[in-house]
Amino acid sequence: MNLKIAVLAGDGIGPEISKQGVGVMAAVCRKFGHDVTFNEAICGADAIDKVGNPFPEETFKVCSDADAVLFSAVGDPRFDNDPTAKVRPEQGLLAMRKKLGLFANIRPVQTFKCLLHKSPLRPELVDGADFICIRELTGGMYFGEKYQDNEKAYDTNMYTRPEVERILKVAFEYAMKRRRHLTVVDKANVLASSRLWRKIAQEMALDYPQVAVDYMYVDNAAMRMIQEPRFFDVMVTENTFGDILTDEGSCISGSMGLLPSASTGSGTPVFEPIHGSWPQAKGLNIANPLAQILSVAMLFEHFDLIAEGKLIREAVNASLDANIRTPDIQIEGGEKYGTNEVGQWIVDYISKR
């Protein structure tokens, strides 16, 4: 298979983990006889510094021409600490999702046996947790009408029926491929937009009689994720709620550095770790590359290259079992491995299989 991949390393630790993801993808392609071309493009604070735009037109073109985008992270404290900034790195991420038509964010949450002790939750609560959060990406408050002055500000949380129907269709279809249990998360007791979500979900549920559907307010869902994470199979929700809940899900696995994601829709799909740019760790060779590497596994699986994705997951599990880990997940007294060393170990493992 010929694959053309756009590589958007971004800011902070992005370039470091991006290098590991590219290395693993290249190793898998060599192993399975695929041809792969990597085309790099700028985004985020890096792009603002260079061209004044966090998602410039040239980057959009590189992404549009690719089969998939391997994205890392954007964000910089210079912008976080300046509420008057008119252009922000994160606007590049939102623009990428909007311009590529990526309305569905797929975030698997799972545990690793050897890392149960790293979760802040009790091992007996998280052991066996395995669910998918499906977040709507291009609607809601992040994209609705906005206003701000010195006395007043608002963000409009608007959704249309077609936007809700298409993301719910993704969720129902994922549930059909898994344990056939779907949880629709909303705030229908307060928000009109949530009541529309619930109404449409109830209508669509009639087309999927094999799927058990339950409805949960977002505050209850946040609590239930901590109290009983094994309850969930597929969870679907709107943009803002999804942003919060999926980050909360990282507590279950024990580190945000372990969770990959995919963003899909009408344009080029994007595969990325769920964590941010962690600028404080930039250049220190301590960032965990596993979420980026597992995003590569999701990329292969998206193209039905199942054996390729399986080999990456096998290599990641082997690295964890061998305690080849970055400091955030290393056992007490374990040898120190950096971003580069973990990535290279996984590449070597794949090459030798």
pLDDT confidence bin for 254, thresholds 50/70/90: confident
- Residues 77-96: what's their mean pLDDT? 86
Question: Which CATH architecture best describes the domain 103-264?
Answer: 3-Layer(aba) Sandwich (3.40)
Query: Helix (H, G, I), strand (E, B), or coil: what is residue 225?
Result: helix
Q: Which residues pair with 261 in a beta bridge?
A: 272
Q: Which residues contact 149 (CB under 8 A, 6 or more apart)?
A: none
pLDDT score of 247 more than 90: no
pLDDT confidence bin for 255, thresholds 50/70/90: confident
Name the nearest CA neighbour of 335 among 346, 349, 347, 319. 319
Model confidence pLDDT, tens digit, residues 191-224? 999 999 999 999 999 999 999 999 999 999 999 9
Task: Decide if 1-95+278-353 and 103-264 have a common fold.
Answer: yes
The rounded mean pLDDT for the chain is: 95
Instruction: Give the whole-number percent of the chain exceeding pLDDT 90.
Output: 84
pLDDT confidence of residue 157: 95
Domain residue limits, the chain: 1-95+278-353, 103-264
Q: Which residue has the higher pLDDT, 350 or 119?
A: 350
Name the nearest CA neighbour of 214 among 231, 227, 230. 231
Query: 49-53, 60-64, 113-117: which has the minimum mean pLDDT?
Result: 113-117
pLDDT score of 332 more than 80: yes
pLDDT confidence bin for 112, thresholds 50/70/90: confident
Model confidence pLDDT, tens digit, residues 220-238? 999 999 999 999 999 999 9
Task: Count CA within 13 A, CB hemisphere, residue 223.
Answer: 5
Name the nearest CA neighbour of 127 among 26, 232, 17, 230. 230
pLDDT confidence bin for 2, thresholds 50/70/90: very high
Active site residues: 142, 187, 219, 243, 247
Topology of the domain covering 1-95+278-353 = Isopropylmalate Dehydrogenase (3.40.718)
pLDDT confidence of residue 113: 85
- Residues 269-280: what's their mean pLDDT? 94
Model confidence pLDDT, tens digit, residues 162-180? 999 999 999 999 999 999 9
pLDDT confidence of residue 249: 86
Q: What is the model's pTM? A: 0.90
